Each structure stands twice: as structure tokens, then as C-alpha cells.
Amino acid sequence: MLSRTALRPIVSHTSNASRRCFSGSSRLSQATTAPPAATVTVKKSSGGFRGGIIGFLIGSSLAFATSFTYLRNEWKIRDDILMEDFASLRATCQRVEARFRLLEDQLAKTQKK
């Protein structure tokens, strides 16, 4: 069996690696920080699709197109309903006119007798 002193460096080494130390000791900070492996430069994509002018124009054009088609469809539905109402009004007026002619003819016949 291993003694307690033999396990102490292993335990202290693993616990220091997982524990954050906030001390100002330079020896401790050198031991915990690893040297940088390689600097990787991340190239930022520059262009209009990241929220610039082209992205704004595409977004606003898409919003305009969808709202225009929606409003055009709604207008067509309302126009069709209105045209049906006009047709039914015309038919009703023609029926009333025909009824008045019939009554006028009956009145004229009764006055001639």
C-alpha cells in the first residue's frame, strides 16, 4: 500500500490544475499558464450580408414583396365580394322594375274599364 506522503504530490498536482488560483505570485502564474501554441488569425468576413446595406435592401425588398402580395390578394377578395354585391343589386333592381311595370299595366287596364 502506498503511504499518504507518496500520494500527496499526485493529489496536489491534479487539484492545482483543476482549481483556479487568484494569487499574485509570479512563480505560481508561470506554472499554471502554458506557452501559446500558435496564434490563429480569424478572418472576419466583410460584406453587405452581415447587416450592411445589401442585407438591408434584400430584407426590405422581401418585406415589401410579401406585404404587396398579401394586400393584392386581400384586395382581389374584397373586389370579388363587391362585384357579387353589385350583381345582386342589379338583379334586385331589375325585379323591382319588372314588378312596377306589371303593376302599371294592371292599373292601366283597370282605369280603361
Can you list the alpha helix ranges (DSSP code H) found in the chain? 4-18, 26-32, 53-112
> Range of 88's domain?
49-113
- Alpha carbons within 13 angstroms on the beta-carbon side of residue 20 total 1
Judged by DSSP in three states, 39 sits in: coil
CA distance 75 to 67: 12
pLDDT at residue number 39: 79
Contact call for residues 21 and 32 (beta carbons, < 8 A) = yes
The number of distinct structural domains making up the chain is 1
pLDDT-derived band of residue 16, with 50, 70 and 90 as boundaries? low
Give this prediction's pTM.
0.43
The letter for the amino acid at 68 is: F
Does some domain include residue 20?
Answer: no
Does some domain include residue 105?
Answer: yes
